[in-house]
Structure 1
Amino acid sequence: MLEIAIRSGDDLGLQVLLGAGASRRKALGPSGTRLLQLAIERGHTRIAERLLGEGVDPNPAERLLGEGGNLSVSASFGFVDIRWETPLHAATGLCNASIVGSLLKAGVEVDRLAPRTALAAAVANGDLESTSLLLEAGADVNMTQITDEGIGRNSRTPIQAAANRGDLDLVKELHARGADLNAPAGHSFERTALQAACASEVLNMELVRYLLGNGADVNATAGPVGGLTALQGAAICGHTRLVLLLLKDDIGADVNGKPAIHKGRTALEGAAEHGRLDLVQILLNAGAKPREGDDGYYRAIQFAEKEAHWVVVRLLRQAFV
């Protein structure tokens, strides 16, 4: 009955049920945290506040699954695919700063593990109010989903999330609080802070310069699935000025940096696939070579052909064939 009331947002019904001894004991027992999370996931702020007011523990005794969530381990890739959340993660995922504040007052643990930390989730969603609350509460600016079993599939640190949004001010604040600019990219389609900044469709050159000026590794390894280096990201997105900057001797981007193991592109392949004729020529002039392997010589050509970038195809054939 409690779950039905929470799912339907029946605040009055919940109040009546909590007046009954059995229902109140259930809410304050091990299942109470799960009910609290359900209320937050459903966006029922008043009900969540009522449960907290009744003394429901906001910290799960064990891993909680969200609606339809699951926990699985992939032995082949050595990562943990985790889709469980806590009430705090649910609140930050919905940008509900009011509930975040209430959870913090109720003693919620700010650094519980999940696909991303609560702080990273708040940053990624642009929820600056929750971000400030979590930072004031002492959230770990370098925490990501790393466990004994492996690295979370979609792990992202707060500063990586801030760089992905192009938020220079927040990057600076997190860096000042000790955030690691060179935290490695997560497993699937994730980036380091510099990789994220360079691969942004809306380029913030001031952010890139800040990261480079503060020691960000321009040749950091691409994440294994769909990852990319800083130069690959710039080339794929067609950021010509940025490619030229990264290739300068004092910056030292590797024009032939290794692509991601799965679904990766070299800088040359990425530029060719997206029809960036000027960048293909710039990269060739900088010494770009086909990737290693029997078909490496033709991969860039094949990518350009698939997208019907025929002028790029001709240029690559002149260079390679």
Structure 2
Amino acid sequence: MRERLPRLLLAIACLVGCGTAQASPPATDADTALGAAIRANDVGGARAALAQHADVNRRLAFGATPLGWAVDTQNAEMVSLLLERGATLDVADSDGVSPLGLACELGNAAIVTKILDAGAPLRTTRVDGVTPLAICARYGPVEAVAWMLAHGATPDALDARGQTPLMWAAAAGRREAVALLLKAGADANRVSKAGFSPLFFAIKSGDVAATDALLSAGARADYRGPEQTSPLQLAGYQKRYGVATLLVARGADLTERDREGKQPLHIAAAAGDLDLIKALLARGADPNGLTGQSRITWVTEANFGVPPPAVPPTPPLLLAAANGQAAAMTLLLAAGADPHFVAANGTTVVLAAARGGSAAALTLALRLAPDANVADAHGDTALHVLVGGGMQPELGAMLQLLAAHGARADIANRRGTTPTQMADGGLSEVKAVFHEHFPDRTGVKLADAGHRQKLPATAQN
């Protein structure tokens, strides 16, 4: 609801004559002066307008009231003045947003406290059914959450999406609010209309303490959300690796495959999260386990993409190499990862590392498998792969490594293209860096595809 400010400013701008939520008498000069004073944060001006009998509860454009405007401008002194002069707290704007709801969203503790102390109703909801408690649980001061719960706010009130205040708190990682709501009896396993539990909201927030509080309160770690997604898989999708480490320690399944056919160790290896890798290996994750068939059937619409290409069974080590994660590679090797594994498409650790953008990962890969000219099923060598990856920060260092290990720039792949031809036909920046490490020794300038000469058969072997 952060988009409300422009609308409220519009409401101020059309104090007279704009569409209003309900018919009002024409604004007096004092009413106009009050609106202008609130907009200008001029408490003295507002006091003078009220002394001239400005209507403190006048319904303005979009149903807003002067108190709503004062809350929106976050002027606590102005809020106090309007409350003292009789501003009512049970009037919501045309979206159903009450002064308390807006105060909770904007989060100023002093203003929220003033409105609560003035007796604001706790059960007024927005048009989408969201309560002030839910808004405060996500945005407002935790003391206000405690106050509302102590004064009768419903901890499990549902909004139009079937979400509870606990879900709102969990989505923002508000661990203190989560704890208060759980203590007040909020259901840790209620499911929203979209199929998400409070635990899923906490995982998405990335807050480990909020996630831990829900698990400790009995949140089901075996619940499956949309696409049969497990909590640990969701943590992987959202890159919430600290939460994933907690879930592993809590006994999550280490063998289950996600929508890409990856197990948790594959995800951790690609991300290079060392704590998660250590936790998974300590729990017995297989350092040589392979990716497999996804449980999810990808659904795509015409003209809106295609399912991802099939990936051959791949171990964590190759995924770490392909993502430039040298430290992760070292951990996996120490745990027994096979450095000589070759995927069905011919990818080796060196070919994988050539994609990773990391000189450190490529150095380690070449130490494990020193052949810099090994080719995959398409005839691409590490040099083809590296040049094909375009300009990147460590391109020069990686080219230097391959040159030092005897990489040849004249080997043609199955399409008949050599690394030199790729470099000369690609980005000028890549070409320049490439020829620093692989100078053209033939004297032939391959200016364009039409002038390229086919290499002798012996150079293609």
TM-score range, shorter chain: 0.5 to 0.7
Task: Look up the match of 1:135.
Answer: 248
* Pairwise CA RMSD: 4.6
Distance 1:196 1:288, change over 3 A: farther
Bigger proportion of residues as strand:
1
How far apart are 1:139 and its partner, in Å?
A: 0.8
> What is the distance in 1 between the residues matched to 2:174 and 2:338?
44
Equivalent position of 2:402 in the other structure = 279
Q: What is residue 162 of structure 2 aligned with on the other side? A: 31
Pair 1:109 & 2:214 matched: no
Q: Is the 8 A contact 1:164 1:193 kept in 2?
A: yes
For residues 204-260 of structure 1, what are the alpha-carbon distances to aligned partners after superposition, in whole Å with 9 as ceiling and x for unaligned? 36325335x3447733368xxxxx8632342342345424234358xxx9922258x
Secondary structure at the counterpart of residue 314 of structure 1: coil
In the TM superposition, 1:118-133 aligns within 5 A as 118-119=231-232, 121=235, 125=240, 127=242, 130=243, 133=246
Question: Structure 2: how far apart are the matches of 1:38 and 1:217?
Answer: 49
Query: 1:9, CA displacement in angstroms?
Result: 1.8
- What letter corresponds to residue 174 of structure 1 in structure 2? L
Letter of the 1:267 partner, please give it. Answer: A
1:160 corresponds to: 266
- Counterpart position of 1:219: 342
Give the aligned partner of residue 3 of structure 1: 134
Q: Give the one of 354, 359, 366 matched to 1:238.
A: 359
Q: Is 1:88–2:199 an aligned residue pair?
A: yes
What stretches of structure 2 of length at least 5 have no aligned partner?
Answer: 1-130, 295-307, 445-452, 456-461
Aligned residue in 1 for 2:414: 292
In the alignment, which residue of structure 1 is the partner of 2:439?
A: 314
Shift of 1:141: 1.6
2:376 is aligned with 1:257: yes
In the other structure, the counterpart of 1:179 is 285
Find the counterpart in structure 2 of residue 52 from structure 1.
Answer: 182
The 1:136–1:229 alpha-carbon spacing in structure 2 relative to 1, beyond 3 Å, is same
In structure 2, distance between residues paired with 1:172 and 1:278: 29
| Bigger-Rg structure (1/2) | 2
From the superposition, tell whether residues 241 and 133 of structure 1 become closer, same or farther in structure 2 (CA, over 3 Å): closer
Cα pair 1:27 1:56 within 8 Å, conserved:
no
**Contact 1:9–1:44 (Cα < 8 Å) also in 2:** no
**TM-score with structure 2 setting the length:** 0.46
CA contact (8 A) 2:162 2:192 kept: no
Classify 1:60/1:257 alpha carbon distance in 2 versus 1 (closer, same or farther; 3 Å): farther
| Partner-residue secondary structure (3-state), 1:26 | coil
Same amino acid, percent of matched pairs: 25
How many pairs does the alignment contain? 276
Distance (Å, rounded) in 1 between the aligned partners of 2:160 and 2:182: 13
TM-score w.r.t. length of structure 1: 0.62
**Does the CA-based 8 Å contact 1:28-1:55 persist in structure 2?**
no
Cα gap change, 1:29 to 1:199, in 2 (>3 Å)? same
Can you give the 5+ residue segments of structure 1 that lack an aligned partner in the other structure?
A: 66-84, 223-227, 260-264
CA distance in 2, matches of 1:157, 1:117: 12
Paired with 1:293 and 1:216, the residues of 2 have a C-alpha distance of: 28
